[in-house]
Amino acid sequence: MLVYQDLLTGDELLSDSFSYNEIENGMLWEVQGKWVVQGALNVDIGANPSAEGAEEDEGVDDQAIKVVDIVDTFRLQEQPSFDKKQFVTFMKRYIKNLTPKLEAEKQDLFKKHIESATKFLLSKLNDLQFFVGESMHDDGSLVFAHYKEGATDPTFLYFAYGLKEIKC
């Protein structure tokens, strides 16, 4: 199994159990999330409650909740949204922090394509949810979620160059 960690914080953000598509010249990974029900327990013991004089609704209160699989699995923490100025400030700091951690050939590609990826994200800024890893470190990578037109499940966007592949 492969786990993808934030190169700057070490937070686990993704694994190979979620497939991705590269977009924006490979700068961003697009990953499909799913709403799932967590904690729902339906145990069929073969009893017939109505035949035993019990009400149909009687039983265990299972406290089922709906969560997004990626957010839950990697303990992502939602952050307040950014306005354009805050986002540009974040991106400048992120580029400054990430670039020295990349290999020389990756640095050139990163510098060449990060501007178009930033413009792509800026065009969706009002529709994005912002997440950080479990450590909630300010200088770490952001993970973005948005709903494509007509979709009921969120699509996540990751900075590909900000991920480090770890074999488990």
Q: Report the candidate in 131, 137, 138 with the shortest Cα–Cα distance to residue 156.
A: 131
What is the CB neighbour count within 10 angstroms for residue 49?
A: 12
Cα 98-134-113 angle, rounded to 5 deg? 25
Domains of the chain: 20-35+70-167 (2.170.150.10)
Q: Is the dihedral of CA 5, 168, 30, 21 positive or negative?
A: positive
pTM of the model: 0.86
In Å, the largest CA–CA distance within the chain is: 74
The predicted pLDDT at position 38 comes to 85
Q: What does the alpha-carbon distance between residue 143 and residue 71 come to, in Å, rounded to a whole number?
A: 10
**Taking 80 as the threshold, does the pLDDT of residue 8 lie above it?**
yes
pLDDT in tens, 109-158: 999 999 999 999 999 999 999 999 999 998 899 999 999 999 999 999 99
Reported as a single tens digit per residue, the pLDDT across 84-114 is 999 999 999 999 999 999 999 999 999 999 9
